[in-house]
Chain A
């Protein structure tokens, strides 16, 4: 009970501190707000990119076409060469006969034309289907495959999807860098806000010390003040995330540009992001005030 009363008092003091230096508090809160909006954008992007990268990766295959003059030994040699390329996940050989049969099975038009081809007339080539471990390196893998003797042509993907993924990747990296920078600026600002609260309460603090308040007694209200600043700063980003993402999701029918790229369902996704935002806000706030307290509340 005693502890609860002390905590209650500390929270009251902390709120008083927030309003005592309202303009500075507002600056800190705004800074957290901006930071957390960037964090939110970054999270929404990266989770979505991760999500559809996984979806897309299943479908993006490099197809290497082989020279039809090759002997079985030469094909085995190519197989060995493919197997040692970095980032190759799986590879599979499909012979021209299999392909021809599949195509004839799939359509009567194909069948009517192709059934008359002799082995020599058949222009279909033997192929390797290659899957990569990471969609971002598909270009590199494809060009390495192309270098192999006996491979006449390499084709992969739709082009746009890979470009989109790497574009998002760049945006994501920019977001991470700006989030780190913003968090540092925010922590600094909060630290300064708390420093000013500490200074404006020097008299009270010195009386508290005389009366026999412990360090914890004296420090906790300021830590809570930082926590409150962080929590207040996360309100707008959370609202923006919940409403913004829901709006985007409905307007785009849950997909982006092509049915390939599925967006993550808003629920519970936005609530998870909101929790993360609140957590980051609170932690940054507490970290900032902890710094100020350590520096300016020594005994």
Chain B
């Protein structure tokens, strides 16, 4: 079943830079997709358009049946609730504990306290941080902080998890740990799109790999074919 479809997508920034062009792409539910390519080739722009941080200049982007390119600003939150996003810099609240950082994603929607408690502990267990609920981000390693960010991104049960270089700040061993967590989440049914620079990770996981160059898809390796 198709989750994402991009048709003839083009993105030109106000500065005149064309970051994405002639882009056609389809991603199915439950897939794990890597997006790779050199710096500035348009990887971040591509995924920003998926969660409607940016709008395409032309072309159509369908995510979960919604034409996100046509979505009005004040309706954007509706797709965002179905998508989890993880960044290189974690984006945690420094003055809140691990528990509070994850619970935050449920609190703003008025989820009952005991439901929050159960869900937060469940995802923290999934990312292997149940023993650190009371710690503050500054007391955690980079890998641990990223796991908190992942926990926060999935606690609402999104259909799609988007990761922009989630291991960019982490050493190879820690990166591999994060990848195990993401694999686990993918096995539980969440579609994952991950931008990365690390060829080691891509080779290790053996998933579908999309290669971008100058805003175009230049290669699309099916699962298990990237060497």
Using CB atoms and an 8 Å cutoff, list the residues of chain A in contact with chain B: 1-6, 9, 203-204, 206-215, 217, 299
Q: Is the CB of A217 within 8 A of B108?
A: yes
Bitwise, B65-93 to A at CB < 8 A (1) or not (0) is 00000000110111111110100000101
Interface centre among A6, A9, A207, A299 (most CB of B within 10 A): A207
Interface centre among A1, A204, A212, A215 (most CB of B within 10 A): A212
Pairs across A and B, CB under 8 Å, 24 listed: A1-B110, A2-B109, A2-B110, A2-B111, A4-B110, A5-B111, A5-B112, A6-B108, A9-B110, A203-B91, A206-B91, A209-B77, A210-B80, A211-B108, A211-B152, A212-B78, A212-B81, A212-B82, A212-B156, A215-B74, A217-B77, A217-B108, A299-B73, A299-B76
CB distance from A255 to the nearest CB of B (A): 57
Using CB atoms and an 8 Å cutoff, list the residues of chain B in contact with chain A: 51, 73-74, 76-83, 85, 91, 93, 104-105, 107-112, 152, 156
Q: In whole angstroms, what is the CA distance A3 to B111 when docked?
A: 10
Q: Report A-chain residues with C-beta under 8 Å of the C-beta of B105.
A: 211
Interface centre among B51, B74, B108, B152 (most CB of A within 10 A): B108
Q: Is the CB of A212 within 8 A of B77?
A: yes
In the complex, the chain B residue whose C-beta lies closest to that of A208 is: B108
Q: In whole angstroms, what is the CA distance A188 to B202 when docked?
A: 55
Interface centre among A9, A208, A214, A299 (most CB of B within 10 A): A214
Given contacts A3-B110, A6-B110, A9-B107, contact A213 B93 (CB under 8 A): no
Q: Report A-chain residues with C-beta under 8 Å of the C-beta of B51.
A: 210
Q: In whole angstroms, what is the CA distance A217 to B152 when docked?
A: 18
In the complex, the chain A residue whose C-beta lies closest to that of B85 is: A210
Q: In whole angstroms, what is the CA distance A193 to B5 when docked?
A: 45
Q: Is the CB of B77 within 8 A of A213?
A: yes
Q: Is the CB of A299 within 8 A of B80?
A: no
Q: In whole angstroms, what is the CA distance A1 to B105 when docked?
A: 18
Contact of A207 among B77, B82, B83, B91 (CB under 8 A): B91
CB distance from B112 to the nearest CB of A (A): 7
Q: In whole angstroms, what is the CA distance A203 to B90 when docked?
A: 12
Q: In whole angstroms, what is the CA distance A208 to B156 when docked?
A: 13
Q: In whole angstroms, what is the CA distance A44 to B5 when docked?
A: 68
Q: Report B-chain residues with C-beta under 8 Å of the C-beta of A214.
A: 74, 77
Q: In whole angstroms, what is the CA distance A299 to B91 when docked?
A: 19
Q: In whole angstroms, what is the CA distance A6 to B81 when docked?
A: 16
In the complex, the chain A residue whose C-beta lies closest to that of B105 is: A211
Q: In whole angstroms, what is the CA distance A299 to B80 when docked?
A: 14
Q: In whole angstroms, what is the CA distance A233 to B73 when docked?
A: 36
Q: In whole angstroms, what is the CA distance A9 to B100 when docked?
A: 13
Q: In whole angstroms, what is the CA distance A2 to B104 when docked?
A: 15
Q: In whole angstroms, what is the CA distance A204 to B93 when docked?
A: 7
CB distance from B215 to the nearest CB of A (A): 24
In the complex, the chain A residue whose C-beta lies closest to that of B79 is: A212
**10 smallest A-B Cβ distances: which pairs?**
A212-B80, A212-B81, A6-B110, A2-B110, A5-B110, A214-B77, A212-B77, A211-B105, A299-B73, A213-B108
Q: Report B-chain residues with C-beta under 8 Å of the C-beta of A211.
A: 80-81, 104-105, 108, 152, 156
Q: In whole angstroms, what is the CA distance A271 to B82 when docked?
A: 51
CB distance from A128 to the nearest CB of B (A): 70
Q: Report A-chain residues with C-beta under 8 Å of the C-beta of B93.
A: 203-204, 207
Q: In whole angstroms, what is the CA distance A1 to B93 when docked?
A: 27
Interface centre among B79, B105, B112 (most CB of A within 10 A): B105
In the complex, the chain B residue whose C-beta lies closest to that of A12 is: B107
Q: In whole angstroms, what is the CA distance A209 to B51 when docked?
A: 11
Q: In whole angstroms, what is the CA distance A3 to B112 when docked?
A: 11
Q: Report A-chain residues with C-beta under 8 Å of the C-beta of B91.
A: 203, 206-207, 210
